[in-house]
Amino acid sequence: MKEEAIQTKTGFLARLQEKWALNSIYQVLIVLLVFSLTGSTVVFIRKAFFGWIGFDETTSMWLKTITYIAFVMPAYQILLLAYGALFGQFTFFWNKEKKMLSKIKKLFVRK
């Protein structure tokens, strides 16, 4: 049973390595760490930012959502690149950013 659990974990990481075209399982773990740190930091920033601009439980959800999309989402993208650079994975995350931006651009640009 224990061997199966280890193989499953390795299999999952190996699939991520293949999907993301990374060189090693160690690199996959670093990328996952960067995603985790970025997400945690954004939660902290959102709380602080919303408090700073005076949002509380009485603020409407639509206003919070629009503010989140306009200010916090760009912060996530910047933090992702910053943490990626800090952990030596800037190129990986920059390529992900470019891919995401091109998809967003397609939503607004018609050919």
Q: Quote the pLDDT of residue 107.
A: 84
Which pLDDT value is given to residue 80? 96
Domain boundaries along the sequence of the chain: 25-108
Res 31: pLDDT: 97
79-84: long-range pairs with CB below 8 Å, 24+? 79/38, 79/41, 79/42, 79/45, 80/34, 80/35, 80/38, 83/34, 83/37, 83/38, 83/41, 84/34
pLDDT of residue 75: 92
Q: Which is nearest to 81 in space by CA: 90, 73, 71?
A: 90
Q: How many CA within 13 A on the CB side of residue 29?
A: 5
33 contacts 87 by C-beta, under 8 angstroms: yes
Give mean pLDDT in consecutive 10-residue pieces for the chain, a chain of 111 residues.
Answer: 53 92 95 96 92 92 92 91 97 93 84 65
Contact 27, 89 (CB under 8 A): yes
